[in-house]
Amino acid sequence: MRTDFDRELEERLVRYCAIDSQSDETSAATPSTAIQNDMLRLLAGELAAIGAADVRQTDYGAVLATIPATVPGPAPVIGLLAHVDTAPAFRAAGVRPRVHRRYDGSTITFPDDPGLVLSPADSTYLGERIGDDIITASGTTLLGADDKAGVAIVMTAAHHLLANLSLPHGRLRLAFTTDEEIGRGVHARLPADLGADFAYTFDGGRRGEIESETFSADRATVSVEGVSVHTGYARGKLVNALHLAARIVATLPQATMTPEVTEGREGFLHLYAMSGTAAEAELKFILRDFELDGLAARGALLRQVCAAVAAGEPRARIRCEIAPQYRNMRYWLEKDMRPVALARAACEAEGIAPVSVPIRGGTDGSRLTELGVPTPNVFTGMQEVHGPREWVSVQDMAAATRVCLRLAALAAAGATAR
In order along its 418 residues, the chain shows pLDDT tens digits of: 456 799 999 999 999 999 999 999 999 999 999 999 999 999 999 999 999 999 999 999 999 999 999 998 789 999 999 999 999 999 999 999 999 999 999 999 999 999 999 999 999 999 999 999 999 999 999 999 999 999 999 999 999 999 999 999 999 999 999 999 999 999 999 999 999 999 999 999 999 999 999 999 999 999 999 999 999 999 999 999 999 999 999 999 987 899 999 999 999 999 999 999 999 999 999 999 999 999 999 999 999 999 999 999 999 999 999 999 999 999 999 999 999 999 999 999 999 999 998 989 999 999 999 999 999 999 999 999 999 999 999 999 999 999 999 999 999 997 544 4
Question: What is the identity of the amino acid at 168?
Answer: P
Output the pLDDT for position 310: 97
Active-site position among 132, 133, 147, 180: 180
Dihedral (C-alpha) 136, 142, 144, 149: value to the nearest 10 degrees? 30
User: Residue 18 gets which letter from DSSP?
Assistant: T
Longest dimension (CA), the chain: 84
**Cα(405)–Cα(4) distance, rounded to whole angstroms?**
15
Q: What is the SS3 assignment for 373? A: coil
What's this model's pTM, rounded to 2 decimal places?
0.93
**Cα(117)–Cα(107) distance, rounded to whole angstroms?**
7
Q: Supply the DSSP string of 195-250, one letter for each residue.
A: --SEEEEEEE-STTBEE--B-EEEEEEEEEE-B---GGG-TTT-B-HHHHHHHHHH
Neighbours of 124 (CB within 10 A): 10
Query: Residues 242, 223: contact at Cβ < 8 Å?
Result: no
180 is catalytic: yes
Gyration radius (Cα) of the chain, Å = 23
Neighbours of 66 (CB within 10 A): 18
Output the pLDDT for position 4: 76
Report domain 216-326's class.
alpha beta
Confirm or reject CATH 3.30.1240.10 for domain 4-214+328-417, answering yes or no: no
**Cα(212)–Cα(354) distance, rounded to whole angstroms?**
12
Angle between helices 145-163 and 4-17 (to 10 degrees): 140
- Put residue 131 in one of left, alpha, beta given phi > 0 → left and psi -120 to 50 → alpha: left
- Can you give the residue ranges of every domain in the chain? 4-214+328-417, 216-326
Taking alpha carbons only, the member of 266, 304, 306 closest to residue 288 is 266
Cα first-last separation, the chain = 39
Active-site position among 6, 8, 20, 85: 85
Q: What is the SS3 assignment for 384? A: coil
Q: Phi/psi at 66 (nearest 5 deg)?
A: -125, 140
Neighbours of 333 (CB within 10 A): 22
